[in-house]
Amino acid sequence: MTSMTRSFTRVPPILLLFVLIPLLVEGFWVFWPAVQGFWLALTNWDGVSPPRFVGLDNYARMIDDPVFHTAVTNTAIWLVLFGGLSAVGGLGMAVLLQKERRGVGIYRAALFVPVVFSLVATSLIWQVLYQPGGIFDSSPLADPDTALHAVLVPALWRQVGYVMVLYLAGLKGIDPGLYEAATLDGATAWQKFRHITWPQLGSVNSVVLSVIVIDSLRSFDVVWSMTRGGPYHSSELLSTYMYSTAFQSLKLGYASALAVVIFVLAFGVIVTYLVRAFREN
């Protein structure tokens, strides 16, 4: 790689601008606010009077905050169910629709169409389906026992097609000769999956895992549009709790601390993703 660019060692000054301008834009709208976010998490702020430094009080407050506990539990459930089921469903559909054959393009497109819908449109579609007098006698979104799962279904409906595409791209890289040889040896479909497909998908699996964790922790739109985290916080995720704490309760310091918690949860995955990106560069 270095030999390729060696003849261009001298960097013309204009190219520094090519890098600096985007870097400054991102610095101003991402890195600078991120630093402020960590700082605000150590303050008490209503957005009007100046922020007051309170040290780690916001974090201490979480310990006694029942809504925070619910949001953490729900975020964990969301990570396992949304992440796990979309991975299993996406992989299953990718394996089913892996081989190029007649009609396979239509099936792939059918699973993929929801991916291009916004999560708000998706949630309205499902709200129509959930209405009393339709499939259900009373909306599962109105019942605290079922609200979280009722939100999960539309989120999965949209995510499975996306994960399927990631796995289809990975499956394309597998040498078809391996399958032919296995067929000649009389291998069953399961044996082919277990001994050819799965081992070959190693790097795709780790990518899918990162994407899923990052997406799960970011999930906001679908819950916000369907339930706003209710009823009685039963479908509250950390992301929705953070938003309502910031922009409805105007507790900006506490909301920032909640955002830091989300950051910490995502941190490991972000670093893994960056390490892989670094290795490939």
Restricting to residues 53-92, name those near other proteins by CB under 8 A. Answer: none
Indicate whether 190 belongs to the interface with other proteins (CB under 8 A): no
Span of 59-67, 80-88, 133-141, 177-185 interacting with other proteins by CB under 8 A: 133-141
CA–CA separation, 245 vs 225, rounded Å? 16
The interface with other proteins within residues 244-263 (CB under 8 A) comprises: 246-247, 252, 255-256, 258-260, 262-263
The count of residues interacting with other proteins (CB under 8 A) is: 104
Among residues 79, 91, 93, 155, which is the contact residue for other proteins, using CB under 8 A?
Answer: 93
Indicate whether 135 belongs to the interface with other proteins (CB under 8 A): yes
Q: β-strands 52-53, 43-44: how paired?
A: antiparallel
Q: Which is nearer to other proteins, 84 or 105 (CB)?
A: 105
Integer angstrom CA distances of residue 10 from 5, 13, 40, 170, 274: 10, 9, 43, 39, 28
Q: Which amino acid is at 62?
A: M
As measured in angstroms, the least distance from the Cβ of 59 to other proteins is: 15
Indicate whether 274 belongs to the interface with other proteins (CB under 8 A): yes
Q: Binding mask 10-29 vs other proteins (x if CB under 8 A, - otherwise)? A: -xx-xxx-xx-xxx-xx-xx
Span of 53-61, 73-81, 110-118, 180-188 interacting with other proteins by CB under 8 A: 110-118
Among residues 59, 112, 179, 193, which is the contact residue for other proteins, using CB under 8 A?
Answer: 112
CA–CA separation, 263 vs 31, rounded Å? 14
In a 10 Å sphere around its CB, with 0-12 CB exposed, 13-18 middle and 19+ buried, how is residue 41 labelled?
buried
Indicate whether 121 belongs to the interface with other proteins (CB under 8 A): yes
CA–CA separation, 163 vs 214, rounded Å? 13
In a 10 Å sphere around its CB, with 0-12 CB exposed, 13-18 middle and 19+ buried, how is residue 13 labelled?
exposed
Indicate whether 232 belongs to the interface with other proteins (CB under 8 A): no
Span of 53-61, 65-73, 191-199, 236-244 interacting with other proteins by CB under 8 A: 236-244
As measured in angstroms, the least distance from the Cβ of 37 to other proteins is: 4
Among residues 67, 85, 214, 230, which is the contact residue for other proteins, using CB under 8 A?
Answer: 214
The region that residue 209 occupies, defined by phi over 0 for left and psi between -120 and 50 for alpha, beta otherwise, is: alpha
CA-wise closest residue to 141 among 214, 259, 235: 235
Determine contact, residues 92/141, Cβ cutoff 8 Å: no
Handedness of CA 16, 18, 23, 24 (dihedral sign): positive
With tokens 């309170």, the residue in question is 54
As measured in angstroms, the least distance from the Cβ of 146 to other proteins is: 18
The interface with other proteins within residues 145-174 (CB under 8 A) comprises: 157, 161-162, 165-166, 168-170
Among residues 71, 72, 79, 97, which is the contact residue for other proteins, using CB under 8 A?
Answer: 97
With tokens 């960097």, the residue in question is 11
Q: Which amino acid is at 189?
A: A
